[in-house]
Structure 1
Amino acid sequence: MSDFPEYDEIHVISDIHMGGNKVDFQILRETERLANYISWVGQQRPGGRVALILNGDVIDTLAEDIHGYVAVDEAAVTVQRIMKDPSFCDIWKALADFVKLEGRTLVIIIGNHDIELSFPVVQRLIITHLAGSDLAARARIEFSTTGAGYTCMVGNARIYCTHGNEVDAWNYNRYEDLAKVGRRLNVGRSLDPNEWYPNAGTRMVKEVMNEVKRRFAWIDLLKPETSAAIGTLLVLDPSQVSKIGKLLPIVGEKMQGQKQVDQRLSAEGFQQPSQDVAIPFTTDRLLGPNLKAGILGATAAGSRSADEMLLAAEENFNRTDAKIATADNTLGTPQLILDSLTGWMRGVGKDEALRRALKDWLTDDKTFDISDQDDTYKQVTAAIGSPVDFIITGHTHLERAIDMGGGRYYFNSGTWIRLLQFTEAMLKDTASFKPVYDVLINGKMETIDQAKFGNQPFVMDQTSAVSIKEEGGKAVGRLTHVVGNGSGAPVEIKKFPG
C-alpha cells in the first residue's frame, strides 16, 4: 500500500479566481462551463476512485472589498459572499454534488489570491457549505494550505500538485505567518493590520491594479506582475509610478525570507522584510525597451540631455531615504521616470505609448507555447525529486505540457479566466493598433468580450484542465481544453506518454 492517496484518475484545474462583488471585477467568465465540467468529472470511472484537484487561486479575495491585504475577522463573511454570489453559486452547487458521490475526493490547494483558505474557520465554512452534516461527504474534502502541495498516486505513478507561486518572488506565501493568524482566530483574538506585511504581488493588486481596474477592467488579464506590463500600467495611469517604485525592493525579499525565526508554538512575531537591503534595479524593471527607447529618444531631442537626467537622478536618489540602488538607471528615480513618461506621452499620445508598452509585454512572446520552459517550470522542477513522475502547477495562467525525459512529465493547468491574445499585426504601428486601442480604452469587460480582430475574438475561448488516468496498467497524462457547455469530454491537446 502506498504512503499517499491512490486514485484511478485525477482531474486538475487552477486559477479560477471566483471573486469580486461587481461584475467588472469578476474575471471568470465560463461559469456554466465550469459547473458542468465538475459534474462531468463526478461521472467518470463509476465504481472507481476519482479526485478533482483545485490547484490554487480557487477564490480571489484580492478582488473583494476587504480591509487591508488579508481578510481576518471578515474572512468567513468574505468567502461566504463569494459562495453565494449569483455568478459563482452554480459552481459551488456542482462541488457539493461532487462530494456527495462515493469514491470522489475534492482537494483544495492554496494559491496567492486565496490565502484565507489556510484559516480553520474558512475551511470549516467551506466543508459545511458543501457537505452539511453528511459525514461521508465531509470526509471527501481535503485542504492543502501549508505550502506542501499535494502528492498522490495514479497507478504506479507519483503525482505532485502545487500552485507555483512558491517560486515567485512577487507572490510567495509566508505559511508560518498564515498559521499564526489561524491561531489568533481560533483563540478569539484578532490581527492588527500593521502586523501583516503582504508580498509585492498582493500590494500591486490592492494598491495599484484595483484602482486602475475601476476604469480598465481588463488590466487583470495582463498578469501585471511582470516588468513590461508595469509599463502598461504606467501608460494607463502614470500617477501609479510612485506606488510601483516602492514595490520594487520587495522583489528581492524572497531571499531574505529564508531568515524567518522558528516560532511554531507562538502566535506572535510576524515576519517583516529587511529594511536595510538595497535591491538593484534598472528602468527596464519599470519600462520595457520599446517604451524606454521612446522616452530616451524624446529626451535626447529635448533640452535636457541624458547625462543631465542621470545627474539629476543621482542627486535625487541621494536625497531620498528609499533603500533602492540604481544601476545603469539613466531615467533615475520613479518621480523622474514619471516626469519623462508624461512629457513624452504629451508628444506621441497615449495610443502610441500603450502600443509600445504592449510590444514590450509581447517581446519574444511564448505565452501560448505549451512546450516553453518558463521560469516556473525551471524553478519548480529543480526543487522536486526524481521519485515524482508528474508535476502539475498553475499560477502563471499559461498552460504547459513538457516531457522532462526519463519518464517524467510537467503540466501547467492554465486558467479559467479570460485570456487576451495580441498579434504582431495588431501592434504593428499606431494605425493598426487604433481599433484595439479604442476597445481597451473603453475599459469595460463587456466591450472586451464582444471585440473581434481579423475575425478572431479578442478573448480566447480557452479553459484548461489536466487529467492523469490509469490506462492499461500505466498512468497517462493529458493537457485538455474544456469546450462548449462543459458537459462533454474535454478536447485532448497533449498526451504523455505518447
Structure 2
Amino acid sequence: MRAINFWLLRPDGQPRMECRMAASVHLAPEQLAEFDELYSISDLHMGGRTGFQIFNSGDALAAFIEHVRTLPAASVALVINGDLVDFLAEPDAVAFDPAGAVRKLDRIVGDAAFAPGWTALTKFVRTKGRHLAITLGNHDLELALPWVRDHLTELLTGADERARARLTLAFDGTGFLCRIGNARVLCVHGNEVDTWNIADHETIRRYGRDVQQGRPVETWVPNAGTQLVVDVMNSIKQKFPFVDLLKPELEGVIPTLVAIAPEQRSRIFAALPAAFHLGLDKVRRSVGLLGADEQEEGGPEQLTPLRTLPTTPRISREQLLDAVELQLAEGVEPISLVPLDQRGQYLGIGGAITSFVFGSDVRESLRKGLDGLQKDRSFDFKQTDDTFQQFDKQVGADVDFLLTGHTHLERALKRNQSGGWYFNSGTWARLIRLEADVLASADKFSQVYDVFAAGSMAALDTFPGLILKRRTVVAIRSTPAGTKGELMHWDDAAGLVAMPNANFTKPAG
C-alpha cells in the first residue's frame, strides 16, 4: 500500500490536501510490449539554420539506424528518448508555437543536414519486427499537440498501416515501458525532474483539446528553461554558438561569455536567476540570510536589503527563493544580490567578472577562474548527478533498467533505491569539454579563447580536439545469461563500440 495525496477545494475556495491509501498497481508481463533488443538514443536536437546547428551527424545517424534495422534479432525497438527536434533552435523560435510547429517540422525534415536520419527512420518503421518509439523532450513540446503528432506520424509512416502499428509516440509524460528478456525497461527523457524544464503535459492536452473543439485557449506560460532560451540565450548564440556545447553550463559557459562578450553583460546577468535555483546554498550568505553579523560592509555597489526574513541558519530554501524572486520581480538586477567580491565565489564564475570590472588580463583571469573545471566530473559516466538521484528516488523498484537523456552527459549507474540500473544516453549533438591540459597552459587556453571569440561553429569544428562527438547509445539486449544493458558509442568505421565497465546484467532465472 502507498499513500496518494489529493488536492481538493474547501468551501472557502482554499486547497485542502487529503491523504488516502491505495494499493500498488503493477503491469503484468503480458501487458507490456516485448522485444529481443532495445537501442535508445536521445537529444538529437535537429533544428536551426545552417551554421548554427548543434547536430551534424546526419549520415552517422542514418548508418546507425540502418545497422539496427538489419540486426538478426527478430524484434528490435529503437527509442528516440526526447528532443528529437529542437523547435527552440529555429530562427523564429517562440516558447510555444502551436500554429507554426507543422511548418517548422517540415523545414527540419527537409533540411539537408537532417534528411538522412529521417529517411532512415521511415525505412526502419516500415520493416517487419522493428518498432520505433519517440518520447517527448523539452525542446519539442509541440509534437504532443494532436495535429503535430498526426503530421509526424504521416511523415514517418505515410499510408502504411502496419508501419503505424510499429510506431509509439509517448508524448504524455508516462514514458515508454517495455520488456526485454526478463527485464522491465522504462524510457523517459529526463526533464521530468528538472525544475526549470518540466513539461506541463496536462496543459498541452487541454490546449490541443480546446483548439480542436473551437474553445478559447488558455495563455501558455513556458517553463523557466524555455523562457531563458528564447528571451536570452538565442540572441547570444547567434554570435557565440559555443554556449550550446560547453559543459558544465554554470561553471563554464557563463564566465566565458562574460569575458568574451562584455557587451552582453546585461543579457548574461539576466540569465543568472537560474543560478539561484541550481546553487541556492552558495548564495545564502551573500544575500544576508545567515545572520546580520555575517553581511558585508557597504561598498561601491551595496547589496539591496531583502524583505524581513528570519535571520537564522535554518531558513528554508523555499523562503530564500521567495525572497530572491520577490527582488527580481521588483526589477533588481540578479547579480546585484551578490556583493562584487563574492560573485565569482557564489555564482561559479571565477575571476571573469572581476577581470571585466577591473580591466585585468581577461584571458589569464578567465583561465584561472575556470581552474576548477580541472576537477569537474560531469563527463564521468560513473558520476552521480541530480537527474539520477531524483529518478532513483521516484521510479519504482520493479523497473530494472531506467533510461533517460536530457543532460547530454552519458551515465551508467547502479541504482541506490532498488536493485536496478540507470543509463543516460547523452547526446548526438556536439559537446565541448575544456581539458586539463588546456586549462593548465596559458598558450593553449589563449588559442581556445580565440576560437570561442571567433563566433562560428566552423571555427569550433576545425580546432583540433575541441569538439566531442560521443554519439551515445544505450543497448538493452536479451542474452542466455540474462538481460544486459550497456553504454555504447557509434563509430563511423567500427559501428557500435561498447564502453569498458559500463554494463550491467539482470541474471536469467
Q: Shorter-chain TM-score category?
A: 0.7 to 0.9
User: Is the contact between residue 470 and residue 476 of structure 1 (CA under 8 Å) also seen in structure 2?
Assistant: yes
Matches within 5 A, 1:3-402: 3-20=31-48, 22-46=49-73, 48-66=74-92, 68-188=94-214, 195-223=219-247, 226=250, 229-243=253-267, 245=269, 282=283, 307-309=297-299, 312-314=302-304, 321-322=330-331, 329-331=338-340, 341=353, 344-345=356-357, 347-356=359-368, 358-360=370-372, 362=373, 364-402=375-413
Alpha carbons of structure 1 residues 404 and 202: separation in structure 2 relative to 1, 3 Å: same
Unaligned runs of 5+ in 1: 255-278, 287-305
8 Å contact 1:228–1:285 — kept in the other structure?
Answer: no
CA contact (8 A) 1:281 1:327 kept: no
Report Cα offsets for 1:140-184 as digits up to 9, x if no partner: 111111211111110110111111111112211122222222223
1: CA distance, partners of 2:59 / 2:371: 34
1:417 CA drift (Å): 0.7
Q: Equivalents in 2 of 1:70, 1:152: separation in Å?
A: 31
Q: Which amino acid aligns with 2:377?
A: K
Distance 1:136 1:468 in 2: 25
**1:444 shift after superposition:** 1.4
Q: After superposition, what is the alpha-carbon deviation per residue over 1:74-118, rounded to whole angstroms, capped at 9, x for unaligned?
A: 111111111111111111000000011111111000111111111
1:490 corresponding residue in structure 2: 497
User: Which has the bigger relative contact order, CA under 8 A and spacing at least 6?
Assistant: 1
The superposition leaves residues 216-268 of structure 1 with CA deviations (integer Å, 9 ceiling, x where unpaired) of: 122100257536533333333345454455555577889xxxxxxxxxxxxxx
Per the TM alignment, residue 473 of structure 1 is displaced from its structure 2 partner at its CA by: 5.8
The Cα of 1:281 is off from its aligned counterpart by 7.3
- Separation in 1, partners of 2:136, 2:211: 19
Indicate the larger mover: 318-327 or 34-43: 318-327
Aligned-partner residue type, residue 90 of structure 1: P
Write the distance in 1 (CA, Å) between the matches of 2:276 and 2:200: 15
Cα separation, 1, equivalents of 2:204 and 2:274 = 19
CA contact (8 A) 1:416 1:464 kept: yes
**What is the root-mean-square deviation of aligned Cα atoms in Å?**
3.4
Query: Distance in 2 between the 1:246 and 1:439 partners?
Result: 25
Q: How many residues matched?
A: 443
1:214 deviates by 1.2
1:444-487 Cα deviation digits (max 9, x unpaired): 111211112xxxx211232100110111162111110100157x
> Counterpart amino acid of 1:282?
V
SS of match in other structure, 2:453:
helix
SS in 2 for 1:124: helix
Deviations 1:255-301 (A, max 9, x none): xxxxxxxxxxxxxxxxxxxxxxxx89739999xxxxxxxxxxxxxxx
Q: Which amino acid aligns with 1:161?
A: C
TM-score if structure 1 supplies the norm length? 0.80
Show the counterpart of 1:299. Answer: none
Shift of 1:25: 1.5
Specify the SS of the correspondent of 1:51: strand
User: Using a 3 Å threshold, how does the CA distance of structure 1 residues 311 and 492 change in structure 2: closer, same or farther?
Assistant: closer
Measured in 2, the distance between the counterparts of 1:87 and 1:68 equals 22
Equivalent position SS for 2:484: strand
Contact 2:251 2:370 in 1 (8 A): no
Change in 2 beyond 3 A, CA 1:106/1:43 = same
Matched, 1:474 2:482: yes
Q: Amino acid of the residue matched to residue 17 of structure 1?
A: H
> Judging changes above 3 Å, is the alpha-carbon distance between structure 1 residues 281 and 169 closer, same or farther for their aligned structure 2 residues?
farther
Kept after mapping to 1: 8 A contact 2:64/2:490: yes
- Give me the whole-angstrom Cα distance separating, in 2, the residues matched to 1:58 and 1:161: 14
Q: 1:378 to 1:316 in 2, by over 3 A?
A: closer
What's 1:262 paired with? none
Question: What's the CA shift for 1:325?
Answer: 9.5
For 2:432, the equivalent position in structure 1 comes to: 420
Offset of 1:311 from its aligned partner? Answer: 6.6
The yes-or-no answer on 1:2 pairing with 2:30 is yes
Measure, in 2, the Cα distance between the counterparts of 1:495 and 1:215. Answer: 40
- Percent identity for Structure 1 against Structure 2: 36
Which residue identity is paired with 1:331? L
State how far apart, in whole Å, the 1-side matches of 2:334 and 2:356 are: 25
Deviations 1:388-432, CA, capped at 9 Å, x for gaps: 111111111111111237642111111101111212221125444
Aligned to 2:313: none
Once the two structures are superposed, residues 290-319 of structure 1 have per-residue CA deviations (whole angstroms, 9 ceiling, x without a partner) of xxxxxxxxxxxxxxxx73337722269989
The whole-number CA distance in structure 2 between the counterparts of 1:239 and 1:181 is 39
* TM-score, normalised with respect to structure 2: 0.78
- Aligned twin of 1:272: none
Change (3 A) 1:328 1:246: closer
> Helix, strand or coil: the match of 2:255?
helix
Secondary structure in 1 matching 2:222: coil
- Give the drift of 1:65: 2.5
**Paired residue type of 2:32:** F
Aligned to 1:463: 471
